[in-house]
Structure 1
Amino acid sequence: MFTAMFSSSVYAGESHDDGDHAVHENDNQIVLTQQQLDFAGVKIETLQLQHHERLYFAPGEVKANGYTSYLVAPRVDSIVLERHTTLGSMVEVNEPLITLFSEAMAQAQSQYLIASTQWDRVKRLSATAISERARVQANADFSAAYSRLIALGVEGTAIDAIKHKPASEFGHYTLVAQRAGIVTQDSFTQGQHVTAGKTLMAISDENELWVDAQIQPSSQLKLTSDIKAWVNVEGKDHEAQVIQEAHTLDPITRTRRVRLLVKNSEHKLHAGMFVNVYFRIPSTAQAIAVPDDALNRSTDGDWVVYVEASPGTFYPKEVQLGERFGEQVEIIGLSPGQRIAINGAFFIASEQAKAGFDPHNH
């Protein structure tokens, strides 16, 4: 398209009076008309030293927030009698989860009933009707029985209800939700015998989740809580905050783990999902950086940019590439204050090629 439009373009040394075409005024300089600049979308920018942000990628995995989650497990060997909720359900604080039976629990409930009854009787007696030692002993027996039930995971209201429990229900007890959340694990069946400490359910508050990013050990990144970070999954970005950094390598992946906190109010993220994690790392020193569109390859394969010598006049300048900052790359070989073409450089290069110019003056 450009060749057809500017096929009549001429350069210094050729006899042509039409000033609307490109002319070659000096060695390796290209002069473009305003019409050509507008058509090719050439954009000029003044170079300056400034701090940039480097984009760093790491694979990551969504994890349940260990600070807002907990495992539901019996504290004594038991038989599962009944479930009150299922996987994926939302539960509220003190909502029943699982009812179980335990022989040890039946004994603890019986001991509490006896001790409670005795203590209630003793409290009604006058100081002269019972010795102080017997009073202290009754209180100690009651406290011990009460504490035993608490240690087995029975809640205070459930303990108070033991006095009204029929004998056929002794040994029954119900585990309730300690906090609101979603049931993210459900690994039992009714009638199953479960040992003390076995996880039956996991409750997680998914409003805030963790993401564990795997950082290469060779990286010298210093990731602090003020570093800009985000998680991308299925094309959607979620803002994240660095909260923890491991000081040892994962024995399997041989990577360094960095943990981020992600808000999940829309519940688009779930534990177990693999995601892409991005960090914006500020440069330690100021640099000159340009977008990729400003760069072209010379005939020798070197990188060049087109410097504006005067309005509409450009010449190629060989540069070296340094550190990459997201969609920009550091260039070495130019000075602050110089003006270069950051858009439309390819058009300028094509005009140079048509004229047969050599950036190296070979």
Structure 2
Amino acid sequence: MKTFLMLLALTLGPACTALAGPHGEDHDHDTAEAAGQQRTDAEAGDHDHDEEAAVLTLNEAQRAMLGLKVVPVAPRPGLSRRLTVPAEITSDQYRTWVVPVRVDSQVRERRVTLGAHVRRGDAIATLFSPVMAELQSDLLAAADEWRRVRALGQRTVGNQRYLAVRGRYQSLRARASGYGLSDADLTALEKGEADPGVYTLRAPDDGLVLTDAFQQGQWLTAGQSLVTLVDEATLWAEAALPPRPGLTVPAGTPARVRVGEARVDGEVIQAGHRLDPVTRTLQVRVAVPNKDHLLHPGMFADVTLELPLPEDALVVPETALTRGPDGDWQVFVEAGPGRYRAIEITALDSLDGLRRISGLEAGTPVVTEGAFFLASEQAKAGFSVHNH
């Protein structure tokens, strides 16, 4: 009997397959669709599972034990960031004078020393010049003629001569003044009390003798510098800033200058708009008060600038920042009661216990205390963060 049934099955099998051909294809198609749907559902389930796994859930007791604190991140206007850059102490160029000879002259006598403090009108050097001797002679004659004409009066001598004599006298006096003679020196010259060709070059203002590269007996050409005077009550710190797009340092920005152990507060007075072709840095000048003469030109310094941040800057405490599994900065945001999700952000400026960030919207609730413990749990769970 069994042998009969087996033979019957072998005989009818091909026929059943042929008859069922079209229906078999539909069955295979339905089976494939069902399998595909199962895979789609499985992938969706895995994605939902990943989303769920990326959320850390803590009950109230756990939150209390960890001391979690959640604060909505919000803009904090009026903040500033600190930028420390190298600098060099230089003279205030608005309080620095180069004192040159104005006509070819020979040094008769040095009257100042390096580092000496001079007052306006103090003698710097006694000089001799043949050109000055000729000018003195002409001025002496012109002054004498002008005194006579002025005494006679314009009506007596005539308008033309009166104006001509006065003009010549004033022209020679102005030239002598331009050569460096003071009013007192000119008065003495007009009285015949000056030695021919000898004159004194005087300080144009109060200051300290910064350089004095000349010697007695030396012949100097017109325009050659005798000394450089500087008022050290205020100096400059020339800071070199790295080139950053959008970096602006407005005048009045507070700055702190550090030279060794000395620290002096100043403020930005000028900022360049062109990079130095050699150092590729942007020059910023800081005015530094120096009444006690602690600083001197040529010293190296560090300048810390207080740069204002945008009014919409978002900041969080440093304790809110942790490193994700891939090493990027992240914060934990509250996704619901007792539910916390890690979000990657960009950490920007450090602000005395705070950090400016980008990558979050204002109002997002951020874990500011206890984030380290959440990061530890995240590492144990073994999932990564990609801004889910």
TM range (shorter): 0.7 to 0.9
Paired amino acid for 2:242: Q
Q: Which of 319, 337, 358 is the equivalent residue of 2:381?
A: 358
Contact 1:122–1:138 (CA under 8 A) maintained in structure 2: yes
Deviation sequence 1:230-253 (CA, Å, 0-9, x none): 333225443333332333333332
The corresponding residue for 2:168 is 141
**Which residues of 2 match residues 58-97 of structure 1 at below 5 A?**
58-97=85-124
The offset of 1:78, in angstroms, is 0.8
The offset of 1:195, in angstroms, is 0.9
Q: 1:286 to 1:90 in 2, by over 3 A?
A: same
What is the alpha-carbon distance in structure 1 between the residues aligned to residue 339 and residue 382 of structure 2?
Answer: 12
The offset of 1:47, in angstroms, is 4.3
The corresponding residue for 2:305 is 279
The offset of 1:254, in angstroms, is 3.1
The offset of 1:33, in angstroms, is 10
The corresponding residue for 1:153 is 180
Q: 1:339 to 1:235 in 2, by over 3 A?
A: farther
The offset of 1:275, in angstroms, is 2.1
The structure whose Rg is larger is 2
Is the counterpart of residue 109 in structure 1 residue 136 in structure 2? yes
Paired amino acid for 1:267: H
The corresponding residue for 1:326 is 351
SS in 1 for 2:283: strand
Q: 1:266 to 1:358 in 2, by over 3 A?
A: farther
Gaps of 5+ in 2: 1-54
Identity of aligned residues (%): 31
What is the alpha-carbon distance in structure 2 between the residues aligned to residue 72 and residue 298 of structure 1?
Answer: 65
Q: Which moved more, 1:68-77 or 1:241-250?
A: 241-250
Paired amino acid for 1:140: G
SS in 2 for 1:247: coil
The offset of 1:111, in angstroms, is 1.2
The offset of 1:219, in angstroms, is 3.2
The offset of 1:56, in angstroms, is 2.8
Q: CA RMSD in A?
A: 3.7
The corresponding residue for 2:229 is 203
Deviation sequence 1:59-100 (CA, Å, 0-9, x none): 322221122221111100111112222121111111111111
SS in 1 for 2:106: strand
The corresponding residue for 2:250 is 224
What is the alpha-carbon distance in structure 2 between the residues aligned to residue 359 and residue 336 of structure 1?
Answer: 29
Is the counterpart of residue 256 in structure 1 residue 270 in structure 2? no
What is the alpha-carbon distance in structure 2 between the residues aligned to residue 236 and residue 46 of structure 1?
Answer: 40
Contact 2:317–2:368 (CA under 8 A) maintained in structure 1: no
Contact 1:304–1:316 (CA under 8 A) maintained in structure 2: no
Contact 1:297–1:303 (CA under 8 A) maintained in structure 2: yes
Matched residue count: 326
Q: 1:337 to 1:250 in 2, by over 3 A?
A: closer
Paired amino acid for 2:290: N
